[in-house]
Chains A and B, each alone.
Chain A
Amino acid sequence: MRPLLALLLAGLLAAAAPARADTELTFYYPIAVGGPLTKVIDGLARDFEKEHPGIKVNPIYAGNYDDARIKALAALKAGQPAQISVLYSIDLYELLEQGVILPWDDVATAADEKAWLKAFYPSLMMNGIYKGKVYGIPFQRSTIVMYWNKDAFKEAGLDPDKAPANWNEMAQMAAKLVKKDARGNVQRWGVMVPSTGYPYWMFQAFARQNGHDLMNPEGNRTNYGHPDVIAALQYWRDLGAKHKVMPQGTVEWGTLRQEFTEGKTAMMWHTTGNLTAVKNTAKFPFGVAMLPASKQRGSPTGGGNFYLFKKTTPEERKASLAFVKWMTTPERAADWSIATGYVAVRPEAYETPKLKEYAAGFPQAVVARDQFKYATAELATFQTGRVRKLLDDAIQAALTGQKTPAAALKAAQGEAERLLKPYR
């Protein structure tokens, strides 16, 4: 009799206990630019919780993009909670292959939610769409822009407010900007484009400007061997080897910004993520321009998207959607852009008073936005690590004169074909 009573009592107590009130969202995010941005994210999470009682948000700073991916995947494997994460936009295929993500279309079913999916810059959506479905919502994105030293331009007799608009102009202007000392050693180069760190990213810009993308949207084919692409690499190499406006060999990603601010190069191609740093350290007036055109203008996008994981309950999915929508409202996109230097991910953000005022005082900030209509997705395919490294190696081989651009790219294409064929 006694045990039964105890059981009954326990059952009553359990029924009477309050139902679990909060949906909890854990998300991993990376930071690739310097600064105390974890505080900003934590603040945003707290603000969201205030406006949405019943949802708890737990942001976990995960290091850089690689760390974030590894952590998120490891957590999922270990059965630890992770509902959404900000991961590299180009991790898409790896995540698909691991079978861990869900398209946002599956949860964004209401009319306003569908409209929200379309509110972002199309070029930023490219890396997140697979077979017509949206897997990645843009959050912290960047593109490449050209920085130029206005004092150096003046010194060389060029109009300090006009940046080169196409490849020919860039080569010619750069030639005028090269400064040599009495012994003939170069004191200042005309232009520098980094070829370590993310050479494939820089090269995508050249290729796009010459009219060709490097991969297809399905992520199972690359075009490294196309004549336009080879010509693009040839131009890059010629800058150093033929026109002598750029150092030969590879140009170091990490030290380039300092070389620019020290006046060792008059122009540089670099990520918008460097904007704030250059603004704070350059002792000369500088301009920021869209990259020059060949057949057209072009630049790849970069950065991180929000992904939704499969291992989520319906409540968690709804909460995730609410959170990500909230994080990407025009006001918040504007705030995030000003705080970090990343581009604001939707057109409406640039219409907000805050961003308008910021852009009025610092017009360099909107150049990246103007370049969006020419932007293309960052290089992403299945087996993305290997396929990218093939291109990186080919670029470095060509720039250091070890192989001709044609030979390097054709070899890379052959290998990439071998890797990607099984995915067709």
Chain B
Amino acid sequence: MNAAGRRAPSLETAAAWLLALLWLSPLLYAFWAAFHPAEYATRLELLAPLSVDNFAKAWTYAPFPRHFLNTVMLVTMILAAQLVLCTLAGYAFARFEFAGRDIAFGLVLVQLLIMPEVLIVENYRIMSRLGLVDTLLGIGLPYMASAFGIFLLRQTFKTVPRELEDAARVEGCTFLGVLWRVYVPLARPTYLAYGLVSVSYHWNNFLWPLIVTNSIETRPLTVGLAIFGAPESGVDWGVISAGTLMAVSPLLVAFLLFQRQFMQSFMQAGIK
């Protein structure tokens, strides 16, 4: 940390600000196009009239509320399952000695590189056989056992001092009891961090949901946005921008309100 509090030279400041402005420009443009009538989408005249027509139109073109609901359900379902499964597995790897543990852990880590997205052909076939095509469960199942989550929790659990576990044992706790009473509460920061990372990732996931779903009742926001953004009759900038903004606003607003937490989570996850 720069304890000295030295001010950076102003040329650098200007450069940093310029980059920030550049970085924000696509989003700024989207706001511009969404809030102005169609003719002004390509003309950046400052005194152009504002309108919310685009939002009204976008609202009828794609069922955003339904997509939003689907996404919320999907993300919640995945996170809940991940929390349970990864806790159990992380606990197993951290505190139990069993035959083949290291090999098993290696196999788990394979998923960090070979994600479900890469195996779309085969996974689709599996879902088809399980009858889970076009269901939320079908989207979420491949992700529920998250190698990243297992890895994070294993690291976290390993740092818990054994004395706490022993103390709980003395009081007569079972293994699961120890997990619940001792390990889980101490891993709360990790859970929070992981939760934010997982929610962000699955909120924005596209390829696998696209393949598995084909109806409004199951499609999440990203897929809805893609279909909305590429119709056969051509695009209308104002409407596309409005629709895009509507689709990204929940996560964007959450991010703006909880910036610090978001970034801390990603940082924490990265350090491990």
Contact = CB atoms under 8 A, between A and B. Distances in A.
A–B contact via C-beta, under 8 angstroms:
yes
Interface of A: 32-36, 60-64, 67, 70-71, 74, 77-78, 197, 253-258, 262, 270-271, 273-274, 277, 281, 283
A197 B230 CA distance: 10
A155 B236 CA distance: 27
B214 A277 contact: no
A71 B128 contact: no
B5 interface: no
B128 A74 contact: yes
A196 B234 CA distance: 11
Contacts of B233: 32-34, 257, 271, 273-274, 277
Interface in B178-227: 214-216, 227
A192 B39 CA distance: 20
A122 B41 CA distance: 42
Given A74-B128, A74-B134, A32 B216 contact: no
B214 A71 contact: yes
B84 interface: no
Interface of B is mostly: loop
B234 A254 contact: yes
Contacts of A64: 227, 232
6 contacts: A34-B233, A253-B234, A273-B233, A274-B234, A277-B233, A283-B39
Give the interface size class of chain B: 20 to 34
B131 A277 contact: no
Contacts of B214: 62-63, 67, 70-71, 74
Contacts of B41: 258
A69 B38 CA distance: 34
B157 interface: no
Nearest to A32: B232
A86 to B, nearest CB: 14
A257 B234 contact: yes
Contacts of B60: 36
B211 to A, nearest CB: 9
Contacts of B232: 32-33, 64, 197, 271, 273
B133 interface: yes
B235 interface: yes
Contacts of B237: 258
A77 B128 CA distance: 9
A270 B235 CA distance: 13
Interface string B22-61: 0000000000000000110110000000000000000011
The 4 A-B pairs at the shortest CB distance, nearest first, are namely A257-B234, A32-B232, A254-B235, A67-B214
A281 B134 contact: no
B234 A74 contact: no
Interface of B: 38-39, 41-42, 60-61, 128, 131, 133-134, 214-216, 227, 230-237
B123 to A, nearest CB: 15
A258 B235 contact: yes
Given A34-B231, A77-B128, A78-B131, A258 B236 contact: yes
Nearest to B216: A61
Nearest to B133: A74
B215 A63 contact: yes
B128 A281 contact: no
Contacts of A283: 39
Contacts of A277: 233-234, 236
A255 B234 contact: yes
A77 B231 CA distance: 28
A213 to B, nearest CB: 23
Contacts of A197: 232
Given A70-B214, A71-B215, A256 B231 contact: no
A318 B233 CA distance: 35
B139 to A, nearest CB: 15
A415 to B, nearest CB: 23
A165 to B, nearest CB: 26
Contact of B227 (A60, A63, A254): A63
A78 B133 CA distance: 10
A273 B234 CA distance: 10
B234 A281 contact: no
A255 B128 contact: no
B227 A62 contact: no
A258 B237 CA distance: 9
A423 B216 CA distance: 37
Nearest to A78: B131
A74 B60 CA distance: 28
Nearest to B237: A258
Given A70-B214, A254-B235, A255-B235, 4 more contacts: A63-B227, A273-B232, A274-B234, A277-B236
A417 B164 CA distance: 73
Given A60-B215, A62-B215, A262 B42 contact: yes
Contacts of A36: 60
A238 to B, nearest CB: 26
A63 B231 CA distance: 10
Indicate the member of A34, A60, A63, A271 with the most B CB atoms within 10 Å.
A34
A254 B233 CA distance: 7
A162 B233 CA distance: 26
Given A34-B61, A262-B42, A256 B216 contact: no
B82 to A, nearest CB: 28
A361 B231 CA distance: 28
A254 B234 CA distance: 4
A404 B233 CA distance: 30
B227 A256 contact: no
Given A62-B215, A63-B227, A71 B134 contact: yes
Contacts of A273: 232-233
Nearest to A283: B39
Contact of B234 (A61, A63, A71, A258): A258
A32 B231 contact: yes
Nearest to A264: B42
A63 B227 CA distance: 8
Contacts of A253: 234
Nearest to B239: A34
A71 B214 CA distance: 7
B45 to A, nearest CB: 14
A64 B39 CA distance: 28
